[in-house]
Amino acid sequence: MIEVKKNKDGKVTKTTDKGWACDLIPKPLIVARYFAEDQAAIDELAASLNNITAQLTELEEEHSGDDAAFCGFEKINKASVTDRLQEIKGDLDAWDEAEVLNLWLKLAKQEADLKRQLRDAEAALDTKALAQYPKLCEVNTQALVVDDKWLAALRTAIHGEMDRISQALTQRVKELAERYDAPMPQMANCVAELEAKVNQHLEKMGFVWN
């Protein structure tokens, strides 16, 4: 949706792309049915980006202590890392530090490239999905709304209720199993032993019976 701002004379002063949405057929339904491969590629890019970001974070944390590669940095970014590499250029004693800094630059470039690729891929998929709506016929719309939206939601709700009931039954069976864990002969022997002890106490108290 494009938000348009006008002045008092009705002249357009600013346009802003606010994105778009469709309540009846949400974008994820269009993507899942028609552009699953594009979404899979985006998911793969996102996973790779998360992996690189995690490596960067780990590298920074590992080398941020005293006398470590990043110990004197106010902010770790491309400019500060590059400046530090220039300072220690040719210093053989700073070889380990340079190796860490160069690795950071390599990972940072990979992260930036992946972010750009992910952003471009998401924009391209968004354009494809939006262009798909005018192509939908009545049959396509019914399939998306009834099968992919309503029935899918119903299946999810049913499976959730079945899981809840299954867990409740499992817990109940476990409780019953624990309650009746002892076999009947063992329980009978226990009752007999308790009965004998009670009789002995009663006899000591003067109660006698045939």
- Contact call for residues 88 and 69 (beta carbons, < 8 A): no
Range of the domain at 192: 183-210
Tell me: do 159 and 173 sit in the same domain.
Answer: yes
Q: Of the given ranges (2-16, 80-94, 162-176), which has the lowest mean pLDDT?
A: 2-16
Whether the CB-CB separation of 149 and 142 falls below 8 Å is answered with no
Please give the tally of structural domains in the chain.
Answer: 3
* Domain final residue pick, 111, 136, 161: 136
pLDDT at 15: 45
pLDDT at 110: 96
Residue 203 and residue 130 share a domain: no
CB 114 within 8 A of CB 52: yes
Same domain, yes or no, for 101 and 171?
A: no
Residues 172 and 209 placed together within one structural domain of the fold: no
Examine the domain organization and report whether 25 and 111 are in the same domain.
Answer: yes
User: Over pLDDT 70: what percentage of the chain?
Assistant: 83
Q: Give the tens place of pLDDT for each residue, 98-141.
A: 999 999 999 999 999 999 999 999 999 999 988 888 888 888 77
Looking at residue 73, what is its pLDDT?
A: 84
Q: CA-to-CA distance for 147 and 151, rounded, in angstroms?
A: 5
Question: Does the reported pTM lie above 0.95?
Answer: no
Are both 13 and 100 inside the same structural domain? Answer: yes
Which of 10-24, 56-70, 141-155, 171-185 shows the highest mean pLDDT?
A: 56-70
Residue 64, SS3 per DSSP? coil
Question: CA separation (Å) from 179 to 130, 171, 176, 183, 184?
Answer: 60, 12, 5, 11, 12
Task: Establish how many alpha carbons lie within 13 A of residue 31's alpha carbon, considering only the half-sphere containing its beta carbon.
Answer: 18
Question: Residue 191, Cβ neighbours under 10 Å: how many?
Answer: 10
Alpha-carbon gap, residue 109 to 117, rounded angstroms: 12
First to last CA, the chain: 97
- Looking at residue 55, its pLDDT comes to 95
Determine the pLDDT at residue 7. Answer: 62
Same domain, 104 and 171: no
Can you list the alpha helix ranges (DSSP code H) found in the chain? Answer: 27-34, 36-62, 78-87, 95-132, 138-142, 152-179, 184-204
